[in-house]
Amino acid sequence: MNKNIINQKNVKKGLLPYLFMFLIIIGVFYVFNVMNTDVKNLTYNEFIGELNEGNIKNVTITTRDSAKTYEVTGTLRNAKKNQTFFARLPMSEAVIEKIVDGSEKQNFKLETKADPDSSTFLVILINVLPFVLLVAFAFFFFNRQLAGNKSSMDFGKSKARLSSDNNKVTFEDVAGLKEEKEEVAELIDFLKNPKKFQKLGARIPKGVLLFGPPGTGKTLLARAVAGEANVPFYFISGSDFVELFVGVGASRVRDMFQQAKRNAPCLIFIDEIDAVGRQRGTGLGGGHDEREQTLNQLLTEMDGFGENEGIIIIAATNRPDVLDPALLRPGRFDRQVTVNLPDVKGREEILGVHSKNKKLAEGITLKNLAKRTPGFSGADLENLLNEAALLAVRRNKEVITMSEIDEATDRVLMGPAKTSRKYSENDRKLVAYHEAGHAVIGLKLSNASDVQKVTIIPRGTAGGYNMMVPSEEKLCSTKTDLLEQITGLLGGRTAEEITFGEITTGAHNDFEKATKIARAMVTEYGMSDLGPLQFEQQEGSVFLGRDYNKTQHFSNEVANEIDMEMRKIINNCHKKAKEIINKHKDLLKLIAETLLEYETLTKEQIDYLVENGKMPSEDEETSLEKMSLTKLREIAKEKKIKNYSKMNKAELLKELDNLK
């Protein structure tokens, strides 16, 4: 009922400007017509003369009883364009007879009109309408002024928006965050049944801080908490508090909490809280007065919560290191939940959520896709499937095939292929041997990542690239793992040196990554002859730049030793890469020459190439996904899979994949 009344008011307010504009347009047309009309005033004798000469084209007679006259208007035959005449004649029968006789003889149009003064409605319209229009204009003008003043009065009001029921999200819509959902499950119980906690004297956290890399689902998780608890969900960005004028942000914080208290129990979600919650009193030029006052007010309001008010704040950021320590103490944001990048199982669940409305080709399993996408966030995976769907539509396909998923993965990682860029044959050969060098190192080192794809098609700023994913996801890396990563990064440059006796600029990104790993091994991980000491830390000054004001916990002599250890690690890995490339020159040449012919090689093709020394034929290249159900059951029987005869194709593929 209230919504209908509000909508009617909005419609009326919306019609007023258009009505006003309509009246203005009518007035402009009227004035324009009046200005463009030339009226010739005739005396009685002049009118009679024109009548006798037969120069009248049409006549309209209006009776004026009050003045005892006739007002005659019309057009002369010899008149100019848009020219009319006007004459005031005495009210007598003789005048009317002359005009009527002239109309019969000369056959001109004659009209008569009654006295307009005798029409009460017309009199009122003529005399009252101008005043009505004036009042309407004044009302419209003052209404606009009041609306403007009202908006200025609302300047300090909260910009927190209340989520509608149409956008309700539950835990079923959040995949891959099992531990995180368990952490916030208590909040849901408290919002639903706070007496259960109060009975035992338990205090629910007033604030929960979600932090982690971008795209991992922090906002989605907060919305799911409100959806599961079925309570009002207010959401606002940290930047909505910060304004030019000092005190506005603090006023909005106060108003936001007043609204929340009126609708308790409820949940407030502050996204990107680092915009308002940064450390106070930092930076070259001192603090930001407005932001610091807003933060102070936020701290005060969170302290002022009553124990049973039923208001919970959830905030999200990907920069927890810049937040003010007072914001993170117990009693404010006293629970911190890390929302990390999903593991392989989490990625499979996320892909399952985002693939519900997409048609995947038969044989494509989400488990395989999850294995191929380490390091992808939930947003990356959603974008991957969306790009694959767009490619399938562009290629006029009914379903999404593995070809579109491969291309979409490349697009997400490196950007679209530069098919129009022309390379010389020499450049193509250099890129082919460079990428083949990476592939050989990856194939021959036991702890190296699996080679998933090699291509010499340029993407982004790279002339080609080698997609390598870990054989298994690890929580931490060993020294051997890091050394073999550096060796793999140096494989491209090493292949160039051995094959062409020349080096190029194509390995600059490889060197950047290798140098970072080597420096971290020496200065952070204690993996060098300098011993288990940490000389540097990853974080620097928050507002002066990460490296601008970094504190060094070592002398100049130790700095020289750090450089020597880094050089030692890089040189040893380069030496090892040379040994592997020299030992497997034939494999290097085979992969490089095949790349020059086919431009792109998949994992299955590379494995076949290594084993057989040639590319598989179409029959040999047939994968499990392309096999018939009968053939898959024969393979399952050989592998001694239980109940294989009752499984469908997807289930058989899953079981065979698990055996791998």
Of 362, 365, 410, 416, the closest CA to residue 384 belongs to 410
Helix or strand holding residue 211 (H, E): strand 207-211
Separation between Cα atoms, residue 267 and residue 621, nearest integer Å: 55
Instruction: Specify the residue for token string 């002024």.
Output: 145
CB atoms within 10 A of CB 456: 26
Tokens for 268, please give them: 């407030």
- Say if CB 364 and CB 405 are below 8 A apart: yes
What DSSP state is assigned to residue 545?
B
Residues in a beta bridge with 312: 267
Q: What is the largest CA-CA distance in the chain?
A: 132
Instruction: Specify the residue for token string 């930076």.
Output: 283
- CA atoms within a 13 Å half-sphere pointing along the CA-CB vector of 378: 24
- State the angle between helix axes of 479-489 and 425-444 in degrees (0 to 180), rounded to the nearest 10: 160
The H helix count followed by the E strand count for the chain is 23, 14
Separation between Cα atoms, residue 435 and residue 212, nearest integer Å: 33
DSSP calls for 428-491? HHHHHHHHHHHHHHHHH-TTSPEEEEEE-S-BTTBS-EEEEE-SS--SS--HHHHHHHHHHHTH
Tokens for 429, please give them: 């050969």
- CA atoms within a 13 Å half-sphere pointing along the CA-CB vector of 222: 29
Query: Given 228, 292, 407, 435, which residue is catalytic?
Result: 435
The verdict on whether 435 is a catalytic residue reads: yes
Catalytic residues: 435
